[in-house]
Structure 1
Amino acid sequence: ALGLPANFIAQEKASGALPEKSNVDGPEAILAGSCSSATRGQIDFHLQSHPGLAVAVDDVMAGTMTKRDIVAFALANIGREPIAYSSATPADVEAAQARYSRQAVADRLDRLFADAARDLVDAGVRRLVVAGGETSGAVVSALAVDSVAIGMEIDPGVPVLSVTGPVTMALALKSGNFGSLDFFSKALQRMAGR
């Protein structure tokens, strides 16, 4: 549905402006909190050629995995499309929720990714991909994003979002089951205008 207005504008059957191509080329990071099958497939595909940091729930709950670990990993791998992910199989998710409670796990992971995102942006990351609806909401809140300009579509239903303000950057926020297998790399390329 997101592409419909652009189609009508391009055919001169409606007025308006076409989405602008993003031109944010800078340090990048990917944070994935979604446990959907689509996101897990996208992570597996991405890890075939890019570095990844698995964020284990037990480590997060014990305090042995912190935002500093995610930030250090991402910054050490800038230019290589680093991904930090807490995504797990349904059985693993159920087991973690049984140990700590569903709400405790969700709150802790969302806060971890939100705090890491804020620190990454403070450290210079300008292209940020976030997978997971709740994770995306937590990140947007932590970054204090007031408004965005909707840019080119990455995959159906997921556009590049341009953020201006004290920091100019590009975001891609996707709910779990959106996007093609190569979504993460494609998103970073679209953000850079490629």
Structure 2
Amino acid sequence: MTTPIIGCIADDYTGGTDVAAALRRGGLRTVLLFGPPDPQLRLGDCDAVVIALKTRSLPAVQAVEMSLLAQHWLRERVTRQVYFKYCSTFDSTDDGNIGPVADALLDAQSAAVTVVCPAAPEHGRTVYQGHLFVHDRLLSESSMRHHPLTPMTDPDLVRVLRRQTTHPVALIPFPLVRQGPDAVADRLAELACDGVRYVVVDAVDEADLNNIAAAARGLPLLTGSAGLAGAVGRIAAEHHSTEPVDIVDTNGPTVLFAGSCSRATLGQVALAREKFASYRLDPRTVADVGDLLPGSHAWLAAHLGDDPILIYSSAPAEERGPADPQTAGALEQLMGALARAAVDAGARRLVIAGGETSGAVVDSLGITAVRVDAEMDRGVPWCTTLAPADPLSLLLKSGNFGTPDLLVRAASLGASR
């Protein structure tokens, strides 16, 4: 049995699938775990293991505790490096959780310094002069400034991180990154000697990420988005054999669940509604979200069959009322209950849009581990549960990811098998 060379801790479930896809794309056999892993879990042969937690929006103390449990589990099983994965839009508040979790992981790894690199150029996230851009807009001018839980109103990552940690934060700017891995590595060493713990590194394309990954190869802990993780995986895979990436055939009905209200998901839902029977969960129509369960459950039972179906709560701002975390949480739990009912009724392929929705569904189904298979779109892989007798196929999609027809293509793939 092979020992994983890379272990990753992700701060939400779709972030976990994103980084797992990046590692798998690089050639590493990757297993994705959901929630704090069982100490007795046997991984089998794999080169990378990703632990997807739901810590992004938790109080910092809880996020640190869960992340340390995952880190301890990895230290006993991973030979080389731990990677702390957060969103490419650096989703956090002034209290954390990126800074507090990174502080705790660095302490546990006895590491002096780490890089901070949320850049994901393939998704339009770049860092220049320490400022995070979403395509051609500063982060603070993007839709993330209106995020209900982690509104991002400051694009300066050095400034943001300094509010989350008591340790020094510095920047390696773009011109130095372009000088290559040796220049970046030398500067990292200099900053570590000066007592700097966090080094934000500019990156505007894949070549920059490759330079950073090569320079930081010897660091016990790295932090960033799936962009840097992909570069780390490519370097590691140069010394490991690869195998074909395919999609496992799981026969059974396909159900789509969409809870994200991001622009990308709204467009994907609109196209899916044109193709498939659909049911909207609208909390404005009931006194309590729980009152939506009987009608939605009856609709699911009546429509589950050979053709894909869609259940969604995704809606534009003008159609969903004021932001309410309690209502959002209740909708996620409702989605989880409906997913459980769908699987119990024979569904074997689930397509889920939205990080919190994905977490609720995975938890409701009691799924703890999957193998990462082929991607439908970048950062959106199919995953197969490890139960050999009756596996499920899952597509867990971050709200902002995917082409407009992603849900239609994913569901049609399931219908054609």
Alpha carbons of structure 1 residues 92 and 189: separation in structure 2 relative to 1, 3 Å: closer
**Counterparts of 2:286 and 2:407, CA distance in 1:** 24
Aligned residue for 1:151, secondary structure, equals: strand
Q: Give the counterpart of 1:105 among 323, 327, 331.
A: 327
TM-score where L is the length of structure 1: 0.84
Give the partner amino acid of 2:281. Answer: V
* 1:65 maps to 2:321: no
Report the 3-state secondary structure (helix = DSSP H, G, I; strand = E; otherwise coil) of the residue aligned with 2:292.
Answer: coil
Q: Any conservation in 2 of the 1:74–1:83 contact (CA below 8 Å)?
A: no
**Residues 193 and 20 of structure 1: CA distance in aligned 2, closer, same or farther (over 3 Å):** farther
- How many angstroms apart in 1 are the aligned matches of 2:287 and 2:240? 52
Amino acid at match of 1:87: S
Structure 1 residue 57, shift from structure 2 partner? 1.5
The amino acid of 2:372's aligned partner reads I
Matched-pair contact (CA < 8 Å) for 1:22–1:190 = no
Residues 25, 167 of structure 1: alpha-carbon distance in 2 compared, 3 angstrom cutoff = closer
Larger Rg: 2
- Paired residues of 1:39 and 1:131 also in contact (CA < 8 A): yes
Q: Does 1:36 align with 2:268?
A: no
- Give 1:59-98 correspondences, 5 Å limit: 59=285, 61-62=287-288, 63-66=290-293, 68-77=294-303, 78-93=305-320, 95-97=321-323
**How far apart in 1 are the matches of 2:291 and 2:385?**
33
Pick aligned residue for 1:121 from 317, 322, 343: 343
SS of residue matched to 1:38: helix
Once the two structures are superposed, residues 84-122 of structure 1 have per-residue CA deviations (whole angstroms, 9 ceiling, x without a partner) of 1101112334x243xxxx221111101100111111111
Letter in 2 for 1:113: M
Q: 1:148 to 1:128 in 2, by over 3 A?
A: same
Hey, what does 1:21 align to over in structure 2?
Answer: 247
Match of 2:380 in 1: 158
CA contact (8 A) 1:29 1:74 kept: no
- Verify the 8 A CA contact 2:352 2:395 in the aligned structure 1: yes
Cα RMSD (Å): 2.6
Change (3 A) 1:141 1:180: same
Measured in 2, the distance between the counterparts of 1:164 and 1:176 equals: 25
Contact in 2 for aligned 1:23/1:193 (Cα 8 Å): no
CA distance in structure 1 between the partners assigned to 2:287 and 2:375 by the alignment: 36
- How far apart in 2 are the matches of 1:185 and 1:4? 27
Unaligned runs of 5+ in 1: none
Contact preservation (8 Å) 2:340, 2:364: yes
2:370 is aligned, of 131, 148, 151, to 148
Distance 2:251 2:398 in 1: 24
Aligned equivalents of 2:325, 2:287: Cα separation in 1:
12
Structure-2 residue corresponding to 1:180: 403
Once the two structures are TM-superposed, the CA of residue 191 in structure 1 deviates from its matched residue by: 5.0
Kept after mapping to 2: 8 A contact 1:96/1:105: no
Give the match for residue 26 of structure 2: 4
Q: What is the DSSP-based 3-state SS (H/G/I as helix, E as strand, rest coil) of the residue aligned with 1:17?
A: coil
Q: State whether structure 2 residue 392 is matched by structure 1 residue 169.
A: yes
Q: Is the 1:126–1:169 contact (alpha carbons within 8 Å) kept by the matching residues of 2? A: yes
Where structure 2 has 5 or more consecutive residues not aligned to the other structure, the ranges are: 1-20, 29-233
Q: Secondary structure at the match of 2:331?
A: helix
